[in-house]
Amino acid sequence: MADCCAPQDLQEKARCTHGLVPERTHGCHFWCCAPCWECQFLWRTQAASSTQHSVQSPLPVVRSVDVVVAHCAHSLVWLDGYLERVAELSGNAAVRVTIYSKCGRRVVGHESTRWAQVITLPNRGRNDHTYAYHIQSQYDSLADLTLFVKDTLDPTDPQDRGFDIVDDVANVYRVAASLGFACHYTPLYDSIASVFTPWSAMRDFVMETYKGEYSRAPLHHRPLQNWLTAMIKGTGTPPPSSLWPVCYGGNFAALRANIHAVSQQVWMNLNESLSRGESIEEGHYAERAWAGLLTSRLPEEDAALLRSHSRVQDPERCDGDFRLWWHYHTGCEVVDDEEPHESATNGKAPLLHCRCAS
């Protein structure tokens, strides 16, 4: 069988044995083939590269872990079990828990959590401001590894987001401890859409409207490229490379070394920018910036590898759920005559259907 990669959400997977996965050949026909490294790891891991193409074994020693929880209204009854997993994974590491509560609601479910500290903050910038605030205020005392999670994470009852799933904390911990960054969500069709998006497409992203009361960014901070440029200007932080990693959902983990690799001034800038209001456009920019800021820029040779493994989906499948999605671009570049979704500004040239050369 040839090396190749393919969708893993399809019923045809059951027909493939011995670790093989289905590959679409044409139309709705499939064959079974062996997954390759580029598609299995580089394609779907924000911190991966050709020099870091697997999780280290044994894992680097982590002596301290912070769990930062952005709380608004949801119960945290799931947090104890989550922390038990973190403590188990980290061995003898010291685990600290900080719950930042913003919405004036009582924090439910943390009472039996031995390590929790609850801090009340003004209701500004949602979870993205919470994370920037924690990094700025604790910059000199950050743990070796920090898990940034929202109160809605709840691995036992995940949100039905429709485009991705919660990755197990064990996978998140291992990848972050080994590579420096890990996303807590993985695309639902994780071998169709890459976590890397061409910056030439992403840079023009704007969010014109959002649910509830919503405030667009000041004109000089729109679109995403202008905002990110303002955040890193004069700090020595390199601009985006041609492919930009994205972690949607606001749940991720990072090593202190990765956080400190970014100038403290950048975190101060983010904290200030995200303090402008409650539901603001800058928060959507930050969501699309965390992974890129907290990982090394992808070398161009790796970007070329990813592009060489991408192929456009069959045009006849370009309908319904296979159109350009709001987040991961699991759909086609083909759209019909209807008004395009506003996300189309960051949906050009998506990396689709990772496929190895036979």
In tens, the pLDDT along 154-180 reads 877 766 666 677 889 999 999 999 999
Share of the chain above pLDDT 90, in %: 52
Query: What pLDDT is recorded for position 20?
Result: 61
Specify if 35 maps to a domain.
no
Residue 24 contacts residue 38 (beta carbons within 8 Å): no
Share of the chain above pLDDT 70, in %: 72
Residues 6+ apart with CB under 8 A from 51: none
Question: Which residues constitute the domain of residue 123?
Answer: 64-189+220-293
Query: What pLDDT is recorded for position 48?
Result: 93
Specify if 329 maps to a domain.
no
Give mean pLDDT, residues 234-262: 96
Say which range, 214-228, 269-283, 327-341, has the weakest mean pLDDT. Answer: 327-341
Per-residue pLDDT at 340 exceeds 70: no
Say which range, 133-147, 213-227, 236-250, 332-346, has the weakest mean pLDDT. Answer: 332-346
Specify if 26 maps to a domain.
no
Specify if 315 maps to a domain.
no
Q: How confident is residue 237, by pLDDT bands cut at 50, 70 and 90?
A: very high
For residue 37, which of 27, 48, 46 has the smallest C-alpha distance? 48
Q: How many CB atoms lie within 10 A of CB 176?
A: 26
Query: What pLDDT is recorded for position 348?
Result: 40
Predicted TM-score (pTM) of this structure = 0.83
Specify if 82 maps to a domain.
yes
Specify if 340 maps to a domain.
no
Specify if 136 maps to a domain.
yes
- Strand, helix or coil at 308? helix
Query: What pLDDT is recorded for position 201?
Result: 81
Specify if 238 maps to a domain.
yes
For residue 111, which of 94, 93, 122, 97 has the smallest C-alpha distance? 97
For residue 128, which of 30, 55, 207, 31 has the smallest C-alpha distance? 207
Give mean pLDDT, residues 15-28: 56
Query: What pLDDT is recorded for position 13?
Result: 44
Say which range, 131-135, 206-210, 266-270, 327-331, has the weakest mean pLDDT. Answer: 327-331
- Strand, helix or coil at 148? strand
Q: How confident is residue 54, by pLDDT bands cut at 50, 70 and 90?
A: confident
Q: How confident is residue 352, by pLDDT bands cut at 50, 70 and 90?
A: low
d(CA 107, CA 102): 10
Packing angle between helix 264-273 and helix 126-137, nearest 10 degrees? Answer: 140
pLDDT tens digits, one per residue of 84-129: 999 999 997 889 999 999 999 988 886 666 668 999 999 999 999 9
CA 158 vs. chain centroid, Å, equals 16
Per-residue pLDDT at 329 exceeds 80: no
CA 146 vs. chain centroid, Å, equals 15
d(CA 162, CA 249): 12
**Mean pLDDT for the chain overall:** 80
For residue 7, which of 317, 249, 335 has the smallest C-alpha distance? 317
Query: What pLDDT is recorded for position 325?
Result: 34
Give mean pLDDT, residues 283-300: 96
Best-predicted range by mean pLDDT (51-60, 74-83, 106-115, 133-142):
133-142
How many domains is the chain built from? Answer: 1
Give mean pLDDT, residues 235-261: 95
Q: What CATH number is associated with residue 264?
A: 3.90.550
β-strands 94-101, 64-71: how paired? parallel
